[in-house]
Each structure stands twice: as C-alpha cells, then as structure tokens.
Amino acid sequence: MAQTCRVAGRIAGVPVRMTRERFEELVGEALDEVPDELLRLMDNVVVLVEDDPPPGEADLLGLYEGHALTERGVDYSGVLPDRITIFRRPILRVCADEDEVVDEVAVTVVHEIAHHFGIDDDTLHQLGWG
C-alpha cells in the first residue's frame, strides 16, 4: 500500500538551489529529531532520497510504500523493507529558502513515518502534519 504527501495549495516558484548531499543531510537531521521511542518501534523500513517522483506525480513530496505496522499479521515475514522516499526536486520547488526546505523536509519525513505506523492522510491533516 502506498501513502503519499503532496503539495497542497502552494504555488511553485523558483526552486531553492541545494545539493543532493545537503538535502540528504536535512533528511538525516529530520530523522534525528524523531523521538527514540518511535524510532525503536519502526520495523523493516528504509528511508531514501530520490530527485524526482514517478512520472505524472510532479507534486509528490514523499511516498510510503509497504505494509503499515497496523496491517502486519503473524504471516508477515521474509518481505523486502518498506520504503519511505523523500523527493528532493518537488520540495525545493515549493520552498522559498533553505529554512523552508528544512521545515518541509521535517514535515514530509514525519508524515511518511506516520504512514508506517498506520496513520492516514485525513488524521495527519487534522493534526497539522499536512
């Protein structure tokens, strides 16, 4: 099952210039801010950075692909890791400066981790995690 994080109500302007390495650092920093209690509960999931989302999904900022913890049963074993993918270029397009990129990366990372825990988009929006 795939869960997504899309741009909502933002108009893309001039993209922020940022190297992939710096962007990956920001993703790492966002992961460092996730409480240890939650990180310890994450199971069989990897976090990746890609430059672009799949074709036709230009406004996609992040994507969770896999089986949420709440959907796993006793037969869950021997499967490839779930994937959280953060898309660099779309995030850079919707942000005006590096501070906004830092914030958007953090929100997107939390959003996709929440999907790993079985939290849907409606609940995330109600909680203010876009």
**Model confidence pLDDT, tens digit, residues 48-105:** 999 999 999 999 999 999 999 898 888 888 889 999 999 999 999 999 999 999 999 9
56/46 Cα distance (integer angstroms): 24
Query: Taking the model in full, what pTM does it have?
Result: 0.86
Closest CA to 124 of 106, 107, 100: 107
25/126 Cα distance (integer angstroms): 29
Q: Would you state the structure tokens that stand for residue 16, as one six-digit string?
A: 């922020």
Residue 119 pLDDT class (50, 70, 90 cuts)? confident
CB atoms within 10 A of CB 105: 27
Q: Percentage of the chain surpassing pLDDT 70? A: 88
Residue type, 1: M
> Residue 118 half-sphere exposure, CB side, CA atoms within 13 Å?
7
